[in-house]
């Protein structure tokens, strides 16, 4: 495996954030694969089904990440490829057709079926795009069949959502001719959080607001040159490109974490839709105040503490901004699997120059730096947490941040609390 470390950018940090030095690393990685996204995507899109074409390992991962649904009809499954599929002794496309036909016959409630690629299906070059096209022609209009990759080859787990949403973009209707400007929230949010944002946009007077993904996968909002979109998640680079190919324009903002991030995110839309500044302040003031009060609860534990992020969820940069600017923590290292400078520029600009920003993964070197830095809190993947705890370091599981509602004013207190809890636990253990 090739190993490389390079320091990109010029030597005067913050001369411009586009030139901020970034430590780039390539090496062994410790992350979940894109199949993990099915856990939150199947809850969001209530008429969709995710059929992973993979191995027993893929099935185990899904089952243990999502838990077993006993009382409900599950909305994900794995078509397990057996040895004879992998050895090319049978036509895997025929087998897949049989599985899909059986599934759709048994489950008429499925309106969108995602065929999800995995490492094994990619290794044997099983063409799921072709399968989706063939099966789609057979089952349309009752069921729309799409495909995307959840494989763990050279990816991290949040990319599963990115590839899934990218597959949905071509299905979004074309904006009607002469359409008025509309807003699109991009990124899967828990329904309760999405409702809070939709209420705020309605109060601001922004009328046409859609969400990608939509709760009903058959109910996608239109897209076109009159669409302005706000990214709710920082890991949607491909989706953003697909939307821009259809004419949509991204609104530049911080990500909606904490009181300041949420205000900035809402303000970007308010400006674009020419909402009066006084009206904007009046609408957001109660939520903003609530967020600040709720965050105070965790301030005692977080203020002045040092934090390092190992590259994992791609939420690292906006969360480091939130913790350092709004909670008074010191970011020591902010490692992220991929650094999308354009999407992250507003958050990145507010992270102190003293913080080491790294992109990519080389788990051994990163662990060595954590051991040397000895931060008060290390945010990392599940597999790294226990060994670090055994060495006396306090950790936080990065994946928990993806599964928890953390966006917006009303979740700001809970978000701060997620970081305060391990520090509190450590203090109790030390007493
Ligand atoms: S997609 Fe690849 S990394 Fe993910 S569970 Fe299957 S085999 Fe493992």
| CATH topology assigned to domain 34-155 | Rossmann fold (3.40.50)
Report, as an integer, the average pLDDT of 314-327: 98
pLDDT at 128: 95
Report, as an integer, the average pLDDT of 359-377: 94
Question: 74 pLDDT band (50/70/90 cuts)?
Answer: confident
Q: Is the CB of 269 under 6 A from ligand 1?
A: no
Tens-digit pLDDT profile for residues 196-246? 999 999 999 999 999 999 998 788 999 999 999 999 999 999 999 999 999
Phi/psi at 204 (5° precision): -75, -15
Lowest mean pLDDT among 4-13, 18-27, 123-132: 4-13
Please name the residues in contact with 285: beta carbons below 8 A apart, sequence gap of 6 or more. Answer: none
pLDDT at 359: 95
**DSSP track, 272-295:** HTT--HHHHHHHHHHHHHHHHHHH
Residue 38 has pLDDT above 60, yes or no: yes
The full set of domain ranges for the chain reads 4-30+298-430, 34-155, 182-282
pLDDT at 16: 52
Assigned CATH class of 182-282? alpha beta
Report, as an integer, the average pLDDT of 408-422: 97
**Mean pLDDT in the chain?**
90
Residue of 30, 34, 35, 381 with the most ligand 1 atoms within 8 Å of its CB, for mutation: 35
Q: What is the CATH number of domain 4-30+298-430?
A: 3.40.50.1980
Question: 66 pLDDT band (50/70/90 cuts)?
Answer: confident
Tens-digit pLDDT profile for residues 379-404? 999 889 999 999 999 999 998 999 89
* pLDDT over 70, % of the chain: 92
Instruction: Give the H or E element holding residue 229.
Output: strand 227-231
Question: 156 pLDDT band (50/70/90 cuts)?
Answer: confident
Residue of 30, 38, 54 with the most ligand 1 atoms within 8 Å of its CB, for mutation: 54
The protein residue with its alpha carbon nearest to ligand 1, atom 6, reads 58
9 three-class SS: coil
Residue 71 has pLDDT above 60, yes or no: no
CATH topology agreement for domains 4-30+298-430 and 182-282: yes
> Which residue from 170, 180, 186, 165 is spatially nearest to 114, judged by alpha carbons?
165
Query: Cα(292)–Cα(163) distance, rounded to whole angstroms?
Result: 35
pLDDT at 293: 98
Residue 8 has pLDDT above 50, yes or no: no
Q: Is the CB of 117 under 6 A from ligand 1?
A: no
* pLDDT over 90, % of the chain: 76
Structure-model confidence comparison of residues 8 and 274, the more confident one: 274
> Which residue from 426, 424, 425 is spatially nearest to 299, judged by alpha carbons?
424
Instruction: Give the H or E element holding residue 250.
Output: strand 249-250
pLDDT at 176: 87
């Amino acid at each position: 495996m090739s190993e490389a470390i390079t320091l990109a950018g010029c030597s005067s940090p913050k001369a411009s954030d586009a030139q901020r030095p970034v430590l780039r690393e390539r090496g062994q990685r410790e992350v979940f694969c894109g199949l993990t996204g099915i856990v939150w995507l199947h809850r969001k899109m209530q008429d969709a089904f995710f059929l992973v074409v993979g191995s027993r390992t893929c099935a185990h991962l899904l089952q243990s990440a999502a838990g077993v649904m006993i009382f409900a009809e599950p909305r994900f499954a794995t078509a397990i490829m057996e040895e004879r599929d992998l050895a090319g002794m049978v036509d895997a496309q025929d087998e897949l057709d049989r599985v899909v036909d059986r599934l759709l016959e048994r489950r008429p409630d499925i309106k969108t079926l995602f065929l999800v690629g995995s490492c094994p299906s990619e290794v044997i070059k099983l063409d799921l795009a072709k399968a989706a096209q063939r099966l789609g022609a057979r089952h349309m209009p009752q069921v729309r069949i799409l495909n995307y990759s959840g494989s763990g080859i050279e990816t991290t787990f949040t990319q599963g959502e990115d590839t899934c949403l990218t597959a949905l973009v071509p299905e979004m209707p074309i904006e009607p001719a002469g359409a008025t400007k509309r807003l699109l929230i991009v990124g899967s949010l828990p329904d309760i959080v999405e409702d809070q944002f939709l209420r705020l946009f309605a109060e601001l007077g922004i009328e046409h607001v859609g969400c990608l993904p939509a709760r009903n996968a058959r109910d996608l909002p239109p897209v076109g040159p009159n669409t302005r979109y706000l990214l709710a998640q920082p890991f949607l680079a491909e989706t953003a490109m697909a939307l821009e190919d259809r004419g949509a324009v991204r609104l530049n903002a911080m990500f909606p974490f904490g009181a300041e991030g949420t205000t900035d995110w809402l303000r970007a839309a308010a400006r674009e839709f020419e909402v009066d500044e006084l009206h904007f302040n009046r609408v957001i003031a109660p939520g903003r105040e609530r967020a600040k009060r709720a965050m105070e609860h965790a301030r005692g534990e977080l203020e002045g503490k040092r934090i390092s992020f190992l590259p994992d969820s791609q939420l690292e940069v906006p969360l480091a901004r939130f913790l350092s600017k709004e909670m008074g923590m010191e970011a020591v290292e902010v490692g992220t699997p991929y650094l999308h400078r354009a999407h992250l520029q507003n958050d990145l600009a507010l992270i102190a120059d003293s913080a080491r920003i790294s992109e990519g993964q080389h788990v051994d070197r990163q662990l060595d730096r954590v051991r040397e830095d000895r931060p008060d809190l290390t945010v990392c993947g599940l597999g790294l947490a226990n060994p670090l705890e055994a060495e006396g370091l306090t950790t936080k599981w990065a994946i928990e941040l993806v599964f928890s509602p953390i966006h917006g004013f009303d979740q700001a207190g809970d978000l701060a609390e997620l970081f305060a809890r391990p520090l509190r636990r450590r203090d109790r253990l030390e007493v």
